[in-house]
């Protein structure tokens, strides 16, 4: 299974999924005023309403009619945003991750495995959290 992010915005995420038998699907997440929904090829697969909405959804691709088989996937979302920048027309959710049993198929933002690793040094932490890079210190001779 291969996956690719097509769109990530404040209220919409679109992921193109190509299964092992070369069928293409579109997995969509939509945030509405009172509910969130997950669509697969335009059909609702899951929804969550209220103020404490789900952020983890499970789906199965290629399941047999009796419920056996198929590829299980997990869609994780971090809908947090930077509240200080609401006027930005390119505002987007903080993270998206689509994962199979083998590992992440798509990872973006705060849910990218690279972002989940702890920094090895203080300098790495400064780069990650504040965007500061001290560079190499060179003294004149």
pLDDT at 3: 93
Lookup: tokens for 133: 């890079």
Residue 36 has pLDDT above 60, yes or no: yes
CB-based contact 107:117 (threshold 8 Å): no
Phi, psi of 128 (to 5 degrees): -70, -45
pLDDT band at 51 (very low <50, low <70, confident <90, very high): confident
Over the stretch 16-35, which tens digit does the pLDDT of each residue have?
999 888 889 999 999 998 99
Pick the CATH number of 2-83+94-130 from 2.40.128.180, 3.40.50.150, 2.40.10.10, 3.90.79.10: 2.40.128.180
Domain residues of the chain, as ranges?
Answer: 2-83+94-130
pTM, full prediction: 0.73
Over the stretch 79-124, which tens digit does the pLDDT of each residue have?
887 565 566 667 888 899 999 988 899 998 888 777 666 667 777 7
């Amino acid at each position: 299974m291969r996956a690719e992010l097509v769109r990530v915005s404040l209220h919409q995420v679109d992921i193109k999924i190509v299964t092992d038998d070369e069928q293409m699907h579109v997995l969509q997440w939509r945030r509405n005023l009172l509910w969130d929904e997950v669509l697969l090829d335009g059909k609702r697969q899951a929804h969550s309403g209220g103020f404490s909405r789900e952020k983890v959804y499970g789906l199965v691709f290629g399941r047999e009619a009796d419920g056996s088989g198929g590829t299980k996937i997990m869609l994780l979302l971090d809908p947090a945003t930077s509240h200080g920048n609401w006027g930005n027309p390119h505002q987007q959710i903080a993270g998206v991750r689509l994962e199979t049993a083998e590992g992440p198929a798509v990872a973006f933002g705060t849910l990218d495995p690279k972002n989940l690793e702890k920094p090895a040094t203080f300098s790495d932490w400064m780069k990650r959290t504040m965007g500061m890079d001290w560079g190499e210190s060179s003294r004149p001779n």
